[in-house]
Structure 1
């Protein structure tokens, strides 16, 4: 079944215009400050603004003026979409919903004073703070790779210029060359993402460089939708893709960006393009706020409130919440629960039991789409999985085409839900 905007979106509007940052003092309405304008932050901003009908001052902090979605960026790599189709701006959130959108970096959080400091010099007070900054990388998790090496060995797990660079590198590969992907350890953003990326790079190379090879170096014993991907690779790209798991040194890897080499358990492999996806952690602002335990920020499942500070909510990739994968669908689902809780706390509006859902679609080749998903509920300890579904090996081609078309409908729906 194709998902359309009406099926996916619920809600209505407020009005306003883009404003300069308010001062710390002098506000008359309760204020929610939101850090991060992706699937979690933009959705939370929109739902808090529209459902409070002007009773809450909503400020969204996002450094980029055009936000490129990490989800569907692999389809750009494969040539199924252009870059502009995954780029979105915040004009409607400002103009139609009265949200103050500040294109700046949040550099500090004073939890006692309840203020957020920005790189541009502004200091914003808040009654509630929502943090949805996505992921950052754990420096040193891939020996030999630093973030300063991302121009030679891109990660492309934050979409935009990195995605453009990786596609350009693939297209410029020598005939018969080798593309290497260094996969991350769990947990990380979009569990099927690296393997959909391999599929899309293979699709591109099948047309432009059919004798090229793909090497996956993977520290994990298994990965999301493994049977589906491996079936698809054998069918569409026979002989092109090799995966090295931990049994053969996939967990003992080093990279040498200057020489374009990958060292697997001491054995040196010369490569032409290397996509390094390091181990991940919560966005750095979570650490600066002092709300992380280990690499992630633990939250109360029913409200997405930080377990460290009840006036801060954490969404999406940065949250340590339980069973939900780190995905755009998850962040969007969590944002609606958070928006309801924040609105209730500030205006006394009614709340309902928290329910969550997620689906992750992946494209293996043209019209060969697969998916995995589940529904969840909030328990005292975590967001707990209730039930789930996954595509099956050997499915009819019509089913796979319908799954791909469903994903297109979902993309249109979720981006409308985020950006208006």
Structure 2
């Protein structure tokens, strides 16, 4: 089912992510009136990405300032992974995905601390940092994103990581990979690897292939892309991506499913899979398998396959450690729930609503969560997939609402406009 166009037009007209996409009007009504100047307690938020920064803002907003919020983020600026693939193709300037945390400080009175968390003491309810001291909390929100399982790929040591980039966390590696593509001679080979799901942003690698294919088609038409996918097939928007590749980038992209990279030789730029097949590229973008961020492991929050964090889907509280709520990519995903920036934003709001209720002496209620993932397939056209997730009391997880969401009928310029409007709106929703 395709999402109605009038819904997307509202997004373009500036209603924004909060109302048009994220369903915040469906949150418990009591959360809006809670606080009214009363001091409800202190919440420390670790991680200032799509999930953590959202939680920090909405804790202040929905408690009417009654909850003191400390946001601890080691990076001085917010850098968006969504839309960073456009930087690789040259369709977007890197500076456009970099944003300030100043709005959270000025508009919402959030204490933003730029430091790394070194330890969490759940008994004393304290967070220790590497230079900013310690912070006590009544409730803790941890939004650590993902870290990489470099050890799963032989030869991918620290020296190799400086040459063979993942660029799966937007930042310096995004800029460096773009430069590798610029330096690639016309006729060169770019190799894109994709780990077995689950990983951050299911359609992300395929969008990246499309963006780089557009760059090659327009700037380096003799070049080639080889896609080595550890999955059996394209795992998100498969027919749409395949159609674009066949129609617009014929002869430029070679897609190989069930090709799981297990070894890299950075000197020769050769990757090897589990049955010994080898492939060489002039530029290799190696995306390793992923797991919850390090602090989640260090704090004893990880309790699913030694990779992810199980949570209570009403409160987003860890099932391993009380009073700690975990958001975003680090969680063990509910059925068909993607690890996406939009979903992390939803987690942040759901956790904020639950914590406001809890600190106000009420019982948290489940909330609807919605997701939209856009992918630009060239410099103008895009495709999307979206869904709505409702808590199932019997199974105790959010399930996709029957008949909700769906995918685009075809790539379009109109959806390209929606894609960029979505980015601007969600950045504003999180940070201003």
Distance 1:300 1:343 in 2: 16
Aligned in 2, Cα 1:236/1:343: closer, same or farther, shift over 3 Å? same
The yes-or-no answer on 1:281 pairing with 2:291 is yes
Which of 341, 345, 350 is equivalent to 1:332? Answer: 345
1:257-296 correspondence to structure 2 within 5 Å = 257-264=266-273, 265-293=275-303, 294-296=306-308
Q: Secondary structure at the match of 1:415?
A: helix
Distance 1:351 1:413 in 2: 28
Distance 2:369 2:53 in 1: 17
Deviation sequence 1:42-76 (CA, Å, 0-9, x none): 00000001221221110000111112100000111
Aligned in 2, Cα 1:308/1:368: closer, same or farther, shift over 3 Å? same
Residue matched to 1:307: 319
The yes-or-no answer on 1:55 pairing with 2:66 is yes
Distance 2:148 2:222 in 1: 33
| Structure 1 alignment gaps of length 5 or more | 12-27
Residue matched to 1:241: 253
Which of 380, 383, 391 is equivalent to 2:398? Answer: 383
| Structure 2 alignment gaps of length 5 or more | 1-7, 25-38
Distance 2:148 2:280 in 1: 25
The normalised TM-score by structure 2 is: 0.88
Distance 1:277 1:120 in 2: 32
Q: Tell whether the 8 Å contact from 2:193 to 2:261 is kept in structure 1 after alignment.
A: no
Residue matched to 1:194: 205
Deviation sequence 1:151-207 (CA, Å, 0-9, x none): 211100100111001110011012211100111111000000001001111111112
Q: Secondary structure at the match of 2:205?
A: helix
The yes-or-no answer on 1:77 pairing with 2:88 is yes
Q: Secondary structure at the match of 2:165?
A: coil
The yes-or-no answer on 1:167 pairing with 2:178 is yes
Shift of 1:389: 3.2
* Cα RMSD, aligned residues only: 1.8
Q: Secondary structure at the match of 1:6?
A: coil
The yes-or-no answer on 1:104 pairing with 2:115 is yes
Distance 1:41 1:415 in 2: 13
Shift of 1:413: 1.0
Residue matched to 1:225: 237
Q: Secondary structure at the match of 2:385?
A: strand
The normalised TM-score by structure 1 is: 0.90
Distance 2:254 2:89 in 1: 19
Q: Which moved more, 1:338-347 or 1:379-388?
A: 379-388
